[in-house]
Chains A and B, each alone.
Chain A
Amino acid sequence: MDKVRLVLAVVTMAITVSPIAGVLLIYRDNLLGLVFPDELRNIINEGIPSSEINEGISFSDTLGNISLIDSSYDPASRTVVLTFKVTNPFDFAISVSAFSADVHCAAHNMRMGYITLGNEVQIEAGATSTVTILGRWTEAAVKHFETFHAGERSIDVELTGLNLTVNGVTIQSTENIRVPSFPVS
């Protein structure tokens, strides 16, 4: 009977010690790797923008390749419809469920209206999808275009009060984000 107890104790000891001893042996030259695996280090190094990216952050840096493929303007409703082609540079799917911001003329610091996301978008890892942005200008903005930007189809703008929801994460920024050559008509 004592033999049974002894065998169980030895097996328990072996089961408890062996796996821990095994990983300690494997990671003897890199003990930090025991709790901080290389995959996590790679994600931190490659997947998250570094703190150095502060000023002059651009959409293409954060959201991958973005290119305008179509734009249309309806003077009656003062609404501009912008269609972008967006490529997801990440290894995971991104879903953009909300996007809105106020638009200011960068040169004259005048509020021109607001932009919102036209449709919820799901972009698989590495895939490309179209994103529709709707912009609605104020009457004052239209007069501003006619007075200061006559004939221009795009101007430099600053986005304020940015509200963006990506993969369930909502980012609200009070920072002014400069967007060069923003199509306005």
Chain B
Amino acid sequence: MRLAINWFGLACGIMTIAMVIVTLFYPWWQLRVGDNLVTANVSLLNTNFKVLGTVFTVPLIYAVNVTCTLMFLLVGVTMLVYSIFPSKPYSKQLLDFAYKKPLFMLIGFVFVLFVFTLLVQVVVRFNIPFVGSVTSTFNLPFTQRATVSVVISAEFYWPFWLAVAVAVLCIAARVYHRRFATTKLGFAHVPPPPPPVELGAQ
């Protein structure tokens, strides 16, 4: 008997779990001020800051990161279970639960990041790039006769694109699911075997 598997879902589940592990070590987006003066490593799963050699996290952001980590793990496991049993009665519920979440979380991440960089520029009047490098110039707080110029650069790292790939695979798994929805047994349209020919019937 041929096993019916949603291969997109399987790849999505495996990549989601791999992405969670990778993101614990590498950021999705990094902001650097000067030469290692300030570094912000940002992702939905792990965000930390390094300021003047001191590494720290913001507790509220940490809580959000834990939530997102658990959510991505749940999505990964759900997609794995679904993709191995795509024709079971409960499979549609599993897929509907999991397939949209990575995309929505990714859109939310990019939106919040974009709004944050915009807000800093508008409110604090400090030029922070969303992507690329800029030179920000400001006066020192304790004297108006000295100006400080610093190069600030920001870029997305490959784990972010891994997350994008996960979101795309989730959507692909949903599209591929139609194949199973139209065949109750989980097989592709296979024509029924021809009736046996009785020898000597003439």
Contacts and interface: CB of A to CB of B under 8 A. Distances in A.
Nearest to B61: A35
B37 interface: yes
Interface in B43-100: 49, 51-60, 62-64, 66-67, 70-71, 74, 78, 89-90, 93-94, 97
Given A12-B74, A54-B143, A167 B58 contact: no
Given A34-B60, A43-B52, A90-B52, A168 B34 contact: yes
Interface in B136-195: 140-143, 145-151
A46 to B, nearest CB: 9
Interface string A32-46: 011111011011000
Tell me if A's interface is mostly helix, strand, loop or mixed: mixed
A139 to B, nearest CB: 30
Contacts of B143: 54, 173, 175
A1 B66 CA distance: 29
Interface in A1-41: 1, 4-5, 8, 11-12, 15-16, 18-20, 22-23, 26-27, 33-37, 39-40
A125 interface: yes
Given A8-B78, A20-B63, A168-B37, A174 B151 contact: no
Interface residues of B, number: 41
Interface string B27-52: 00000011111000000000001011
Contacts of A125: 53
A180 interface: no
Contact of B63 (A11, A23, A93, A167): A23
B189 to A, nearest CB: 26
B180 to A, nearest CB: 16
Contacts of B58: 34-37
A39 B56 contact: yes
B149 A170 contact: yes
Contact of A8 (B63, B97, B145): B97
Contacts of A42: 54
B93 A4 contact: yes
Counting contact residues on chain A (CB < 8 A from B), the size range is 35 or more
Given A4-B94, A34-B60, A172-B147, A49 B142 contact: yes
Contact of B53 (A12, A22, A91, A95): A91
Contact of A93 (B36, B62, B97, B147): B36
Contacts of A52: 142
A76 interface: no
A95 to B, nearest CB: 6
Interface in A51-85: 51-54
A4 B60 contact: no
Given A40-B49, A174-B145, 17 more contacts: A1-B93, A8-B93, A15-B70, A16-B71, A20-B63, A22-B63, A23-B60, A35-B59, A37-B57, A40-B56, A54-B143, A91-B52, A91-B54, A167-B36, A168-B35, A171-B147, A173-B145
Interface of A: 1, 4-5, 8, 11-12, 15-16, 18-20, 22-23, 26-27, 33-37, 39-40, 42-43, 47, 49-54, 90-93, 95, 125, 162, 167-175
12 contacts: A12-B71, A15-B74, A34-B60, A35-B58, A35-B59, A35-B60, A50-B142, A54-B142, A167-B35, A168-B37, A168-B150, A175-B143
- Across chains A and B, which 8 residue pairs bring their CB atoms closest together, nearest first? A92-B53, A168-B34, A168-B35, A39-B56, A173-B146, A91-B53, A19-B66, A19-B63
